[in-house]
């Protein structure tokens, strides 16, 4: 569970990063930034700051700010009855983003949060810089980590349905 103070500080920091990247934000939008610790109570290591611009039944647009080396835990977007699973499109605006997928282990620049090896099985590293983008097909296991200066990226996705995490303790709720 995150303290109110921690959430406030993280929100402010994320808003500043987003603005510095050139994306305009209103005061209301800044207030709406979600600070997620995925139920792990270790925000700076495993967490994310996410602002949703659009979330309709068919498409969502978000901007994500990750602090230096902050990691979004490994997860995938499974199909459900009527949908093949969420497709995610990522485009980096600022900083370096390491993306990990299943495949040949070439992990080099980023690293698994300490003591958490069991929950990070995808070890194929892709380095994304400002202006690079990638599409993740539904069902693909993946996790994200910011480089040493943090990162800001867009996340465009289809219908926001259930995510599943490798670590069963992870929840999408922040508190």
**Which lies closer to Zn ion via its Cβ, residue 25 or residue 64?**
64
- Shortest Cβ distance from residue 170 to Zn ion (Å)? 12
CA distance 130 to 114: 27
Contact 138, 82 (CB under 8 A): no
| Position closest to Zn ion via CB | 88
From the CB of 101, what's the least distance to Zn ion, in Å?
11
User: Which of these ranges, 26-34, 62-70, 85-93, 118-126, lies near Zn ion under the rule CB under 5 A?
Assistant: 85-93
**Could you tell me which residues come within 8 angstroms of residue 2 by beta carbon, excluding any fewer than 6 positions away?**
35, 37, 41, 43, 174, 175
Would you state the structure tokens that stand for residue 38, as one six-digit string? 């995925």
**Per-residue buried b or exposed e for 7-24, using 16+ beta carbons within 10 Å of the residue's own CB:** beebbebbbebbeebebe
Residue number, 37 or 88, with CB nearest to Zn ion? 88
Residues 37-76 that bind Zn ion (CB under 5 A): none
Alpha carbon distances (Å) from 74 to 28, 33, 41, 113 = 30, 22, 16, 11
Number of residues that bind Zn ion (CB under 5 A): 1
Q: Which stretch binds Zn ion (CB under 5 A): 10-18, 47-55, 87-95, 115-123?
A: 87-95
Q: Are 167 and 115 in contact (CB under 8 A)?
A: no
Of the listed pieces 36-44, 63-71, 86-94, 123-131, which binds Zn ion according to CB under 5 A? 86-94
Gap between the Cα atoms of 97 and 69, Å rounded = 9
Nearer to Zn ion, 34 or 88 (CB): 88
Closer to Zn ion by CB, 6 or 66: give it. 66
Judged by beta carbon, residue 30 or residue 61, the one nearer Zn ion is 61
Q: How far is the CB of 74 from Zn ion (least distance, A)?
A: 9
Residues of this chain that bind Zn ion (CB under 5 A): 88
């Amino acid at each position: 569970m995150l303290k109110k103070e921690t959430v406030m500080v993280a929100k402010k920091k994320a808003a500043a990063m987003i603005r510095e990247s050139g994306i305009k934000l209103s005061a209301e939008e800044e207030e709406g930034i979600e600070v997620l610790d995925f139920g792990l109570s270790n925000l700076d290591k495993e967490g994310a700051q996410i602002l949703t611009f659009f979330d309709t039944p068919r498409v969502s647009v978000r901007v994500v700010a990750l602090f230096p080396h902050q990691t979004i835990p490994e997860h995938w977007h499974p199909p459900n009855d009527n949908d093949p699973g969420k497709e995610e499109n990522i485009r980096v605006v600022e900083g370096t983003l390491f993306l990990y997928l299943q495949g040949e282990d070439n992990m080099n620049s980023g690293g698994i949060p300490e003591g958490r090896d069991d929950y990070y099985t995808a070890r194929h590293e892709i380095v994304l810089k400002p202006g690079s983008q990638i599409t993740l097909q539904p069902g693909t296991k993946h996790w994200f980590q910011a480089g040493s200066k943090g990162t800001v990226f867009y996340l465009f996705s289809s219908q926001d349905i259930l995510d599943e995490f490798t670590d069963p303790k992870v929840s999408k709720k922040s508190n």
